[in-house]
Structure 1
Amino acid sequence: MAFLIPLALAGAALSVTAAKVYAHFNKPPPNPPPPPSPEVTEEIMIRSAQEKLGMDIVNHYNIAICGGSGSGKSSFINCIRGVADVELSSAFIYIDTGSAPSGINETTQAPACYRWPNNELPYLSLWDLPGGGTQKHPAETYFEDKTLYAFDCLLLLKAGRFTSLDVQIFKKAVEYKMPIAVVMTKADQDINNRTKTKARELGRKLTKDEYKSLIEETIRMLKNNAKEELISAGCAEPTLNAMFVVSAISYRDEKMNLLDDNDCPSLETEKVFLTCCNITVYRRNTA
């Protein structure tokens, strides 16, 4: 699975890896993504994606950001593109290079495509999908209704426990042989809470080495808990290298030189970008 670096952020020189990513997504993909099964042919997949989502899967790479309400999908999309968060209001106007609106309640009612500002990556689109498990978006048919099989890669965002929707998406992705990564958001809150608890136990602030160890322990704990949750729900056992613990807000702040010493680091945010990028390009080149 693979992901990518937000090249629109800050003015830092591109790393070797970032330059490769930049080159990939500044030209159209060589092939459409492979159809998921003999029943879903390439023609059916393309037509369904265009009719239901208005998605161009021939000329663009498309990555779906999915998961339940409150998992931080919209904020995640904003952070990796380097744009500010905005709350949904009557004054909000959708622009594909602008901000994905966020709020306390579920704000994404229909699939929305977001592109990089300034046409930085002209052939890459991130899709903010509505939360499911509702009458309008039933979990049982969500995968097919939103043509998730037509995307290049799925990022299943998780904050708290897996919902029935999350489980259905994961099971269907395995069934359709779709690349899917579990992304645990808001990990900075878990780390901050555990840091305060540990500091109270010790009666002092943690040293840098203690803080680093606590972060590593928290990442292992979150991944193992997520793995056990999926297994308990009847899912195929996921591999830990397809799970990522992130703090997307810290990632954006770090790239913009706004991250304070006391802030949680970005964790595996960049790693998930690079992973997603690799699998996305690989699938198109071998389709």
Structure 2
Amino acid sequence: MDDSFDSYPEEIKGCKEALMNNDRAAAAAKIQEYLEKQDNIRLNIAITGESGSGKSTFINAIRGIDHDDDGAAPTGCTETTMKATAYPHPNFPKVTFWDLPGIGTTNFPAHQYLKKVKFEKFDFFIIISADRFRENDVKLAQKIQKMKKKFYFVRSKIDHNIQDEKKNQRDFNEEMTLKHIRDYCIQGLQQQGFEAPQVFLVSSFELHLYDFSLLHETLERELPAHKRDALLFTTPNINNEIINKKKEAFKAKIKYLSLLSAAAAGVPVPVFSATVDLGIMAAVVMTYVLVFGLDKPSLQRLADRTDVPYGALVAVIKSPLALEKITVDLLLKVISLMTAEGALMAAEEVSRFIPLFGIPVAMGLSFAATYRILSVFLNSLAEDAQRVLEKALGLETSV
């Protein structure tokens, strides 16, 4: 078992002292407290812009749902947002997207806007326009800037512009068209007094194209460290880079889960450790399935959005854990087919009854078994997510 705590967060460094004092219950409690704290991080994202800018469509797209799904933000050409409305992520409700009324409307005049929408609760603002950003957009950005919070300009409906230009230009060049749109938006903001704006070009119907990846990278870089995973885990799988980032974030947490498993193995009660291990694994693997979009509702929504048959997406999945409700019985069945990892769990249960050295040996074996099993599950589900993405985008499978 890895007993180096130097790289661990401050919240669980006390675990080392507890283990040195042979207080395994305290060690387990400290690790459990840290893990629960990570799971309860809230993220509130404000989306604002003028009527018809595509706010609702963007909110639905970033949550991975269609406009006619349950809980979708209503879309339309008229102003549908009369008050700040919360739209939680369907799988991770602690991450909430807020559809805000456009600034400068009768009910939300510019000088009262931030107070009326309760500005302080939002982690950052996304200001959306389907054309040129207006004076009120700049006023809002300047007010947010004064309050020391982040904001991002998003130019929506880029797919519409590209389609229109293709029809109207004989010598169409997509790269030049995108540059023209970006320069037009930036010049408009500069004319309104904004010095060095950055504008992200986005299509809510094709998030894998244009600047959505760059927007995500910017948000991730500028968010506080403890909130980055909350954003990452709710980001749609738009490319393999996002999937790999999710995989690496989960991988970093496996050592803490394995430590919790090891601490439970120190309790000299038959089958107690195995029960705890399987309980931990079931909860964690269910999160893997949801974050990678491998549950049935997420796959059905993906099929609807991409017009790729649901059965075709399911056909490329190999892990027996995808599409399933993760239970202890299912995990036992899958682990029984994993020769080396199953042997580790069995050896752990036997070793705890060896006089003097049994408990330390059991703890080491428990750490190793949990680490290896979760790593195998994580790798297989991440590979499935890549295959599903490539199928959905019509790409040749690379895994």
What TM-score, normalized to structure 1? Answer: 0.61
User: Hey, what does 1:226 align to over in structure 2?
Assistant: 185
8 Å contact from structure 1 (residues 65, 128) kept in 2: yes
- Alignment partner for residue 125 of structure 1, among 70, 83, 96? 96
Does the 8 Å contact 2:134/2:188 carry over to 1? no
CA distance in 1, matches of 2:80, 2:104: 15
After TM superposition, give the deviation of residue 154 of structure 1 in Å: 0.8
Contact 1:61 1:280 in 2 (8 A): no
Other-structure match for 1:135: 106
* Aligned-residue offset at 1:164: 3.0
Specify which of 65, 70, 79 is matched with residue 83 of structure 1.
Answer: 65
- Structure 1's 283 and 67: CA in aligned 2 closer, same or farther, altered over 3 A? farther
User: 1:248-259, aligned counterparts within 5 Å?
Assistant: 248-251=204-207
| 1:107 CA displacement | 0.4
For 2:72, the equivalent position in structure 1 comes to 99
Q: Structure 1: which 5+ residue stretches go unaligned?
A: 1-22, 30-59, 87-94, 207-213, 252-264
One-letter code aligned to 2:99: D
Q: How does 1:142-161 map to 2 (within 5 A)?
A: 142-161=113-132
Shift of 1:284: 5.7
RMSD: 2.7
Measured after TM superposition, the shift of residue 266 of structure 1 is 2.7
Q: In the aligned structure 2, how far is the partner of 1:110 from the partner of 1:28? A: 26
CA positional deviation for 1:103 = 1.3
1:81-101 residue CA offsets vs partner (Å, 9 max, x unmatched) = 121114xxxxxxxx9x71001
1:272 to 215, 218, 236: 215
The structure where helix makes up a greater share of residues is: 2
Size of the aligned set, in residue pairs, is 194
Q: Indicate the residue corresponding to 1:235 in structure 2.
A: 194
Task: Report the equivalent of 1:73.
Answer: 55
2:39 paired residue number: 27
> Match of 1:277, as an amino acid?
E
**Which residue is equivalent to 2:358?**
none
Residues 210-232 of structure 1 deviation map (CA, whole Å, 9 limit, x = unaligned): xxxx3322222222222211121
Q: Distance in 2 between matches of 1:174 and 1:246?
A: 23
Secondary structure of residue in 1 paired with 2:182? helix
Q: Secondary structure of 1:85's partner? A: coil
Letter aligned with residue 61 of structure 2: C
CA contact (8 A) 1:112 1:128 kept: yes
Name the residue aligned to 1:169. Answer: 140
Q: Please show how residues 31-46 of structure 1 align to structure 2 within 5 Å.
A: none
Identity over the aligned pairs, expressed in percent? 31
After TM superposition, give the deviation of residue 170 of structure 1 in Å: 1.3
**1:115 lines up with 2:127 in the alignment:** no
Matched, 1:194 2:165: yes
SS of 1:181's equivalent in the other structure is strand
Residues 81 and 191 (structure 1), Cα distance of their counterparts in 2 relative to 1, 3 Å cut: same
Q: What secondary structure does 1:249 align onto?
A: coil
**Which digits, 9 at most, give the CA deviation of each residue in 1:227-271, with x for residues without a partner?**
211121122322x3xx210111123xxxxxxxxxxxxx6312233
Rounded to whole Å, the distance in 2 between the matches of 1:112 and 1:245 is 24
1:282 has 2:225 as partner: yes
In the TM superposition, residue 283 of structure 1 has moved relative to its aligned partner by 7.8
Q: Distance in 1 between matches of 2:225 and 2:181?
A: 28
Structure 1, residues 118-172: CA drift from partner, whole Å, max 9, x if none? xx32431111111232221112221232133431111110111223321211111
**1:244 and 2:226 correspond:** no
Amino acid at match of 2:187: E
Matching residue's letter, 1:82: G
TM-score using structure 2 length: 0.45
Q: Are the structure 2 counterparts of residues 164 and 140 from structure 1 closer, same or farther at C-alpha, using a change threshold of 3 Å? A: farther
